[in-house]
Amino acid sequence: MPVLGEICDTCKKNTLKVTITPPGDIRPAFSYDISLINKISTKQFGVPLIPDDRVVILNKAPYDDRMEEIIIDGKVIGNIRFEIERLDWVLLLRPSGAKILFEGRNLKSLKNWVMVDDTAVPFIVNGASVLAPGIIDCDNEIIEGNEVIVVSRENNVVAGGRSKMKGSEMISSEYGVGVKTRWNGANNDTSLLKKETKWSDVIKANEAIMEKYTQEAYNFINNTIKNIDKPICISYSGGKDSLVLMQLLNECLEDFDILFADTGLEFPETLDNVEKVAKCYDKNLISTSAGNSFWESFPAFGPPTVESRWCCKICKLGPISSLIENNFEDGCLTFIGQRKYESSARAKSSRVWKNPWVVNQIAAAPIQNWTALHVWLYILKTKAPYNPLYEQGYDRIGCWLCPSSSLSELMRLKDTHPHLEEQFMNQLVSFAESRGLSKKWVRHGMWRWEKPPQNIRKSANNLGISLVQKNSSTQDLNFKITSGYRPCKDDVFSAEGSFGIPLNIEDFKDNNLLSACGVPLYIDGAVIVKNKGINVQIFASGTITVQDRDEKKALSLIKDAKNSVIRSLKCQSCGICVRHCPNKALNIAHNGIHIKNNCEHCSKCIYKCPVIKFNK
């Protein structure tokens, strides 16, 4: 059974280390996960892989989409991964898993097997692929690209890999590669324990290590509270990590508030869980909702991507900033269920930090060093009320359409929440059509990246999916610029740029957002913005020009002016910029953000704006 320490608390014996793929954020396999694995195994090989009475651990491994290592009785017996091109799950057996399924069974009752002659075995074991002349029998239903297991005449597992030809061709061909092997040789012991294992046994075996981690979290919480004199709250998301933090904090403190920001994209089960947790722990719930902000902003931004998650700023950080500002005048200390295993950025994060987007919030992470298995052992031990979505195949709980989700989870929506899936697919298809993109671009999840990784681009090419967007809308502001030193004027640097579409100069007067980069002077058909002796001119034709002897200052000002125009035309009234103005010169009105006359033209608010950060 899985033990996180070096000593098992049940038998008091030393444990054996199991090598898994980093970062090693292991978690329990729920009934749905086991059923999925067995369903895939039966589809591919004819029989289920996992017995009913076993504790199974899954380890998320790096891949183009979702991939999990399957660990049972201290052995990694295979991987399941979701393949974007197939839009389906595939089981990749390791040597131990292949031996469990194939050795001692009648091959005729199994699928996707290839038998080789004894003379070919030594070459294959030493790393060679399987050549057609060495194949003496196989499953005749094999098709090219299938996962297959290679066995000897004695039915011993020799290798595993992907077929390069049909089963019928393998027997008849006199040349060519029949199977491209992924691994070769299977001499390790694969016997499974006969004894049934349960999660209650795992909890007992990990008592000492969990006590150590729990005590460290208690000490961190108490020391942080002692050193930071601010009102205490917890940021609760409806996920497992913030639930563990809720339990820990409740065991240390009696009085603290729960903060919850409903992004408007939460699962119904998450909203129910938030209410249930607040009631269970008898704590004051302070919540806010972004309402329809995402859907209202979608036309301006398009779908969020891994590189540009504009939705986080508008739907989460904007509302939570207002929530904290309205309820904690002098700020607050917020405990957050952040763990280093979640991402490389969080692995490098400090355990206490000041949130750059949320003014007056100091955040602290007591479970920074916990794996997902630490989290689940604590939840199972304390019987904390966790979100039921974890038992339905969802590995992460958050916004249901997050671009950081795997495509497998996004497709799972069709089974668990068809109305949500349909709503988003309709939006994505409309966006794709407006940009000249295909439905396959939507279906295969290509919308999740601005610039897809190389492997994803390769898949798109294999599928015949174009990633080039055709921009025909006159509302899209694509700014092109040329610059250099003017030969007719000594040492004068000039820059000229154009949006390619006309601008209504009068629109800028209403919100006064051009004041962020200087003092605007409106004249017929243009506006001149003055900033510390430099003038930038914005014309009704869509052209912006600037001249100065200082190249750096000129380029900086034309950049500020260009972004001020975009911001003015595309403002979503999210309020992020308001809370970052050092002079309190911004306010939200019924028709958007406005800059007041006490603006000092520092331009800071421009680059806090999600419109600028995530402008497509």
* 355 and 226 both lie in a single domain: yes
pLDDT on residue 53 = 81
pTM of the model: 0.80
Structure tokens at 376: 């689940």
Is position 396 within any domain?
no
- Domain shared by 551 and 456, yes or no: no
pLDDT at position 42 is: 97
Q: Is residue 8 part of a domain?
A: no
Backbone φ/ψ region at 302: left (φ over 0), alpha (ψ -120 to 50), beta? left
Structure tokens at 400: 């249901």
Report if residue 238 sits inside a domain: yes
Contact 593, 577 (CB under 8 A): yes
198 inside domain: no
313 with 255, same domain? yes
Same domain (yes/no): 521, 582: yes
Residues 368 and 272 in one domain: yes
| Residue 547 token pair | 């001249």
Bond prior to 23 in cis (omega within 30° of 0): yes
Residue 179 lies in a domain: yes
Q: Cβ neighbours of residue 488 under 8 Å, at least 6 residues apart?
A: none
Q: What is the 3-state secondary structure (H, E, C) of 333-370?
A: EEECCCCHHHCHHHHHCCCEEECCCCCCEEEECCCCCC
Q: Which residues, in sequence order, are CB contacts of 138 under 8 Å at separation 6+?
A: 113, 114, 115, 148, 167, 170, 171, 178
Computed on alpha carbons and rounded to an integer, the radius of gyration of the chain in Å comes to 30
Place of tokens 């075996």: 205
Tens digit of pLDDT for each residue in 138-174?
Answer: 999 999 999 999 999 999 999 999 999 999 999 899 8
Q: Is residue 9 part of a domain?
A: no
Question: How far apart (Å, rounded) are the C-alpha atoms in residues 510 and 520?
Answer: 12
* 369 and 515 co-located in one domain: no
Is 502 found in the same domain as 554? yes
Asked if residue 130 is part of any domain, the answer here is: yes
Last residue of a domain, one of 127, 149, 184: 184
Q: 473: how many CB neighbours lie within 10 A of its CB?
A: 10
pLDDT at position 431, please? Answer: 87
Element (H, E) at 279: helix 268-281
Tokens 């992907």 — which residue?
A: 162
Give DSSP secondary structure letters for 569-613. HH-----TTGGG-TT--EEEETTEEEE-TT-----GGGGG-HHHH
Q: Which residue has the tokens 């195994």?
A: 41
Cβ count within 10 A of residue 231: 16
Q: Are residues 544 and 579 in the same domain?
A: yes
Name the nearest CA neighbour of 388 among 471, 269, 489, 492: 269
Residue 452 and residue 467 in contact, taking contact as beta carbons nearer than 8 Å: yes
| Same domain membership, residue 314 and residue 261 | yes
The backbone torsions φ and ψ at residue 237, rounded to the nearest 5 degrees and listed phi first, read -110, -15
Same domain, 169 and 249: no
Please indicate, yes or no, if residue 468 is contained in any of the structural domains.
Answer: no
Q: What's the domain range around 487?
A: 480-610
How far is the C-alpha of 501 from the C-alpha of 475, rounded, in Å?
8
The partner residues of 180 in beta bridges, in order of sequence, read 162
Q: Give pLDDT < 50 ranges for the chain.
A: 471-474, 486-490
Contact 523, 535 (CB under 8 A): no
Domain count, the chain: 4
In this structure, what CATH number is given to the domain that contains residue 240? 3.40.50.620
User: Based on the domain organization, do 336 and 225 belong to the same domain?
Assistant: yes
CATH number at residue 58: 2.30.130.10
| 502: CATH | 3.30.310.10
Do 171 and 212 lie in one domain? The reply is no
Continuous segment of H or E residues that includes residue 148? strand 147-151
